[in-house]
Chain A
Amino acid sequence: MNATETNTNEGVVVIQDLTKSFDTTEVLKGITLSLKKGENLVVLGKSGTGKSVLIKCIVRLLKSDSGSIKVLGNEVTELNNTDMNEVRRKIGFLFQGGALYDSMTVRENLEFPLKRMYKNLTKAEVDAKVKEALENVGLPDSIDKMPSELSGGMKKRISLARTIIVDPEIMLYDEPTTGLDPVSSHEISLLINEVQQKYKTSSIIITHDIECAKTVANRIIMLQEGKVYKEGVLSDFENTDDELVNSYFKSQNITNTKTI
């Protein structure tokens, strides 16, 4: 099957028995999950449970030890680099810190993936795409700014614009609200929903922010010690006797109450 061919009957991302170790530390211990077309799948879990490692394995920033990762029908663990790059064109990845290129302006940051993935675009087409992406994240006036001139929330928005500019089918968000104030966190959560509706993306959102999860999730998976601990919709997590899930949700509620 070609790298760009799509077979999404079973899900746009299908992971089976995925394992990943660093030296002798087993971080992922046989993860199995599936991302359905058009859904927002939230992956919850404490720090160090392998959430970020999981999505980095999907785009092959990290190589998995064993198991299967199918993205749009392509087994990414077996693809050569050229075919993997074709698959990456369909995936948007929002990094935890934004990962904007320091030495480039906002315009150049947005043009970078666009010019590299779509080499035949004219300058007018590139300009129009950049303008549209910035308007979608509500920052059209930041076009000539350097990343150092932007606040944390603005960086996340620009980073999101850089990700959606290439019209990805799948979005991977690595802790999109970490380090942001509650207002900016909520705005980013709403933007994630807007992206889902406007671009018809299927998304995996890695987070430990319950408010973000409540806003964006169609389905939730909770990881614990490198394994899927619980899977379901939000109400399954809110109305459960499970001590671990409750302690997680309750502790977040206590924090929010104290903040208010």
Chain B
Amino acid sequence: MKKTIPIPENEMEPMQKMRPKEISVKKKNKLEVFLADVGNATGFVLKVFKNIFGKDFEFNQFLKQCFAIGNQSLGLISVTGIIIGLVLTIQSRPVLVNFGAVSMLPGMVAISIIREMGPVITALICAGKIGSSMGAEIGSMRVTEQIDAMEVSSTNPIKFLIVPRVLAATFMLPLLTLYADALGILGSWIGANIKGDVSFVLFISQAFSGVEFSDLFPAVVKTFFFGAVIGFVGCYKGFNAGRGTESVGIAANSAVVMASLLVIIVDLIAVQITDLL
């Protein structure tokens, strides 16, 4: 029978000595880990804000990211927008027919899309598409020491990588949402014509007769926050990725989950605030 000889502490490799510590980290109270993460995230957000307003804004990187975000998401949002409009119309029509209120269909669908469906669906799609892409890209840069290489080249990675991405997400999401809204209404018109016959001009006129500025404005404002949340979360998860390749996947995955959850929470807060006003 083989005897196991324990290695003395002073003969251990540093990585070996680290193992008991890692185990103790895993045993940490979940609340402690959560609070530490919130603290780190807050520090990250403050750093980003400090660099947004500093000099030497990376305008070219900002434009590049705007194009990437728009280009990445356009196809997906086009398809989703049309389908949402179509489905809402097909589902709502029978109920409205029963009440003899089918003429209210365009206005009702337009309000649903503009107030809630357009912004939230667009944000969730972007959380998946953009959030994961940012988490994976920046995480992989962290793992392969590209971020370190930037720092030793006297370049602030927050300014070069993070600020343009957060701002691009913040400003592109409202545009993508308006685009999704427009296609949703188009989809609704197609849906209305499956079992009826209504001209495009009449449909649009009925749709917008029910929509007021107070419907559009809060809906657009909240999309700026959705975009910021997606940008911050995607970049934060990537920037704080661990050292192994596995951590790139973890960063991308947790960016999507956290961004989607925060979008829903921000939406809840935005709806409550709009309701109070």
Q: Tell me which residues from 255 to 269 in chain B have a Cβ below 8 Å from any Cβ of chain A.
A: none
In contact, B15 and A89 (Cβ under 8 angstroms)? no
Contacts of B144 in A (CB 8 A): 97, 99, 102
- Report the count of interface residues on A (CB-CB < 8 A): 34
Contacts of B141 in A (CB 8 A): 101-102
Given contacts A95-B148, A99-B146, A101-B146, contact A22 B18 (CB under 8 A): yes
In contact, B21 and A93 (Cβ under 8 angstroms)? no
In contact, B153 and A117 (Cβ under 8 angstroms)? yes
A214 to chain B, nearest CB (A): 25
In contact, B154 and A117 (Cβ under 8 angstroms)? yes
- Chain B 135-159 per-residue mask, 1 if CB under 8 angstroms from chain A, else 0: 0010011001110110111110000
B47 at the interface (CB under 8 A from A): no
B10 at the interface (CB under 8 A from A): yes
A160 to B94, CA, bound (A): 70
Contacts of A48 in B (CB 8 A): 13-15
Contacts of A225 in B (CB 8 A): 10, 14
In contact, B14 and A61 (Cβ under 8 angstroms)? no
Given contacts A27-B14, A50-B14, A226-B14, contact A112 B152 (CB under 8 A): no
A184 at the interface (CB under 8 A from B): no
Given contacts A22-B18, A25-B17, contact A99 B148 (CB under 8 A): yes
Contacts of A103 in B (CB 8 A): 137
Contacts of B149 in A (CB 8 A): 93, 95, 99, 101
A85 at the interface (CB under 8 A from B): yes
Given contacts A96-B145, A97-B144, contact A91 B18 (CB under 8 A): no
B17 to chain A, nearest CB (A): 5
In contact, B17 and A47 (Cβ under 8 angstroms)? no
Given contacts A25-B17, A225-B10, contact A93 B152 (CB under 8 A): yes
A90 to B39, CA, bound (A): 35
Q: Which residue of B lies closest to A101 (CB)?
A: B146
B233 to chain A, nearest CB (A): 21
A85 to B141, CA, bound (A): 21
A86 to B154, CA, bound (A): 8
- Chain A 44-73 per-residue mask, 1 if CB under 8 angstroms from chain B, else 0: 001111100000100101000000000000
Contacting residue for A89 out of B13, B14, B25, B154, CB 8 A = B154
Q: Which residue of B lies closest to A86 (CB)?
A: B154
Contacting residue for A116 out of B17, B21, B155, CB 8 A = B155
Q: Which residue of B lies closest to A117 (CB)?
A: B154
Q: Tell me which residues from 25 to 40 in chain A have a Cβ below 8 Å from any Cβ of chain B.
A: 25, 27
Contacts of B25 in A (CB 8 A): 23
Contacts of B148 in A (CB 8 A): 56, 61, 95, 99
Q: Which residue of B lies closest to A93 (CB)?
A: B152
In contact, B153 and A97 (Cβ under 8 angstroms)? no
Contacts of A93 in B (CB 8 A): 149, 152
A88 at the interface (CB under 8 A from B): yes
Residues of chain B having any CB pair with chain A under 8 Å: 10, 13-15, 17-18, 21, 25, 137, 140-141, 144-146, 148-149, 151-155
Given contacts A112-B153, A117-B154, 5 further A-B contacts (CB under 8 A): A23-B25, A25-B21, A46-B13, A85-B154, A95-B149
6 closest A-B pairs (Cβ-Cβ)?
A113-B153, A99-B149, A85-B154, A99-B145, A48-B13, A93-B152
